[in-house]
Amino acid sequence: MRDTTPARRFTDTIYEQFARIGKAIASPRRLELLDLLSQGPRTVDALARLAAQSLANTSQHLQVLRAARLVDADKEGLYVTYRLADSEVARFFQTLRQLAESRLAEIEQTKRAFLERRGLMEPVDREALLERVRSGKVTVLDVRPVEEYRAGHIPRAVSIPLTDLKHRLAEIPRNREVVAYCRGPYCVMAIDAVELLRARGFKAVRLEDGVQEWRARGFEVAVGDRAA
């Protein structure tokens, strides 16, 4: 016989609410949207383009996330702009990703195979690289779209979106090491940037950390258009 006591109903209700979050993120597409929104607010159109999804599918996924109170939206004229509900959602996504990385060997295997095919699997002293970035001893290149750079970036980083990089190489000093970063360890824009820079004679490496990882380390994040 099913327990229908007040205590049981209370417990069932609580776990049903917890499950709302689980159901909302039980989609690779919705997880990607959360990751993109961790970089800053974006319109539905922009999110659809960045996630390579149809506008209708993107809108439906965002509505599921909004129903679970993970994202909020504002409407200005014909455009709806989405953003993470608060910083707790960004931390939740980071924790989820770290848990997956620690439990699922397939993640590291997939990343390693991809980087090896691109010839970018060379060992990098991550902590030493972070220190060079923080001390300003290298040219830090943010290759994300300008909107994401304005929402938050590594201090002193220069904004040159990947789509513009080929035509703006003259702006990058050749006498310094270049460190390119984008949205984190699974973003390929910095990988493409490093390949292009090396092909043009620059000494370039990729920083796996994005702005969210940088912030999670307790480092300062700059906001706005200025590089410093």
Q: Where are the alpha helices (DSSP H) in 38-125?
A: 44-50, 55-67, 87-103, 105-117
Q: What is the C-alpha separation between 140 and 206, in angstroms, rounded? A: 10
Q: Is position 187 annotated as part of the catalytic site?
A: no
- The encoded tokens of residue 57 equal 């599918």
Beta bridge partners of 43: 81
- C-beta of residue 186 within 8 angstroms of C-beta of residue 110: no
- Annotated active-site residue in 44, 71, 154, 182: 182
Task: Please give the Cα distance from 21 to 66 (Å, whole number).
Answer: 10
| CB 67, CB 176: distance < 8 Å | no
Q: Which residues are catalytic?
A: 182
